[in-house]
Amino acid sequence: MSFVGKVWKVLVGIKDGLVLLFMLLFFVALFGILSARPNPGAVKDGALLVDLSGTIVEEKSSLDPIAVLLSRSAPVGEVRARDVTRALDAAVTDARVKAVVLDLGTFLGGGQVHLTEIGAAMDRVRKAGKPVLTWGIGYADDHMLLAAHASEVWLDPMGVAVIAGPGGSNLYYAGLLEKLGVTARVYRVGEFKAAVEPWTRTSMSEEARANIGGLYGALWEEYKASVTRARPKLQLAKVTGDPQAWIESAQGNMAQAALAAGLVDKLGDKTQFGARVAELAGKDSLDKTPGSFAKSELAPYLADIGDKRPGKKIGVVTIAGEIVDGEAGPGTAGGTRIAKLLDDALDDDLAGLVVRVDSPGGSVTASEEIRRAVQRYRDRKIPVAVSMANLAASGGYWVATPGERLFAEPATVTGSIGVFAVLPTFENAAPRLGVTADGVRTTALSGQPDLVGGFTPAMDSLLQANMTGTYRNFLGLVAKARRMPVERVDAIGQGQVWDGGTARQNGLVDEFGGLPEALAWVAGKAGAKEGEWHAVYLGESGNDYDSLIRRLVTERSSPATGAGDLFAMTALRGEGLASRLGRDLARLTGTRGIQALCVACPAGAQVPDGGGSRQSGGLLGVLAWLTGD
């Protein structure tokens, strides 16, 4: 008994120790969560510091804390565009804010629409007589779209500033697939659906080149107009027309070349820049570090100014990222998740609804699930508007069809009305490995789909007929929503992509405007005057652990997002090649059902690859299940 008693005491001691350990971890985590919350008390007189570390997005991606901690790598930072504009607009009348500082040292970019909106907010701050300053070690296209609106643009003397313009190369795999003996079976409707061309061609088709070239040309003209209007002294033609001569004129000194061309105003390191801000906004009474200045950071400032919530509620549902089936998101538009958000809010006494879209599209079944949920608001006579951000293409336009009024910006990319799917088969590759397929069939569809033996003509016809029917359904939805003949929609459809200006001309959108204009329109339809309504963002909740996890991981890993000299910026751009190849491979092998997806659409910030559930509906979804995908 004495031995058993000793064993029992040991077990009890281990149990008590584990309980104490878990309690300790719990309270440490609780303290971390509470300390990670923005503290409004940190706001003080001085500068409003907006650290744009990472990308500017419509909606922040969800963060899996376990996966992030196990990976021991810091996730790319995300800053929500409307948070920045809300803070800048508050700074206009806030006597505590003497100046606004945008730290672009680790900024990775954003969509043209978001950057234009933030630039306009910067203009409003300057119009109120408050200086706006930016600092960076590397300025590229997206950086300059913001910096052009600053009163002082600072560049590190070792830094670089260049403007390259939109465009670049796509990757084409037809030659590789031929060598491997892999057959990429493409099913599509839309002569301009360039998303499938990487699997069938070795270069871009002339149809796709004409359409995408026109889109890029329109976006480039809009970019040039915006930058030169905000910064007339910028010698854009010199910078982009003959960059070699421009750099050589400064003996290869990139920073001096940027200064001479009017890209930046002053050269200085962060300490010198901080001293300049201190002249304008005051010194920090506690922090005596060289380059310090009195400041309030973005998160506590937003917590301090709060949200005014008078009058009627207007719901805003965000559809950001690739549209996929299931519960994925935020940051990825899971159809089931978004439809549930809409249905849960249907009885919340909303005066109206704004559908905010920043998506290249994706799964047809998920897009239809969201569209039906939005339509239920229309069926209840609730006013619905659609606000398009950077992208509202393919499935992103599909979900917009229930809207009464569609708002877009000139730099919005929309349209891409077309559908496709790609399925790989291995009837040519398998015999090379000594694998062949044979058997008995009773019908033309027996044993289909057969990935090793190949598809029968009947199977091919069935899949293409399904694709054609889906496209006709897409045309019908657009024709009914836009009050156009189906033939007219087909003429501007076929997978063609349009900038916001052209989309307005051809009737795909109603007027120019952003989210504020869409909200105001819905409020007017609901009979609410200015100051008598407020926006409610469906499904939005603060993840208190998010900033804590990011802080913990960032402190353990070296930052890889900082810009450097021209070679560092080139290397950083090249790091995305492997992930690009991985995504392309996943699109070929990862059957996801029929796609209404604009793969060729430009996006300033990376669009998250569809995560979460990959289960697709429809005929191709069934095929994915049958083939074990």
Do the bridges between strand 511-512 and strand 183-189 make them parallel or antiparallel, or are there none, so unpaired? unpaired
Instruction: Tell me the C-alpha distance between 144 and 468, whole Å.
Output: 44
Q: Name residue, tokens 């795909």.
A: 508
List, in sequence order, the alpha helices (H) in 234-360.
Answer: 236-241, 243-248, 254-260, 270-281, 298-305, 335-344
Instruction: Tell me the C-alpha distance between 178 and 356, whole Å.
Output: 42
Query: Which residues face 17 on adjacent strands?
Result: none
Which one of 367, 394, 547, 616 is the catalytic residue? 394
Question: Any catalytic annotation for residue 394?
Answer: yes
Residues 6+ apart with CB under 8 A from 151: 126, 131, 132, 133
Question: Any catalytic annotation for residue 616?
Answer: no
Which one of 193, 226, 363, 416 is the catalytic residue? 193
Give the three-state DSSP class for 77: coil
Give the three-state DSSP class for 483: coil
Instruction: Tell me the C-alpha distance between 240 and 263, whole Å.
Output: 12
Instruction: Tell me the C-alpha distance between 18 and 22, whole Å.
Output: 6
Whether the CB-CB separation of 61 and 330 falls below 8 Å is answered with yes
Residues 6+ apart with CB under 8 A from 92: 124, 125, 127, 128, 130
Instruction: Tell me the C-alpha distance between 618 and 187, whole Å.
Output: 14
Other residues' Cβ atoms within 10 Å of the Cβ of residue 301: 25
Burial group, residue 7, by CB count within 10 angstroms (0-12, 13-18, 19+): exposed
> What CA–CA distances, in Å, run from 55 to 111, 186, 225?
9, 34, 23
Residues 6+ apart with CB under 8 A from 13: none
Give the three-state DSSP class for 268: coil
Other residues' Cβ atoms within 10 Å of the Cβ of residue 166: 15
Residues 6+ apart with CB under 8 A from 497: 192, 211, 212, 215, 393, 413, 414, 415, 416, 598, 600, 601
Backbone angles phi, psi at 299, to 5 degrees: -60, -50
Catalytic positions, written as ranges: 193, 394
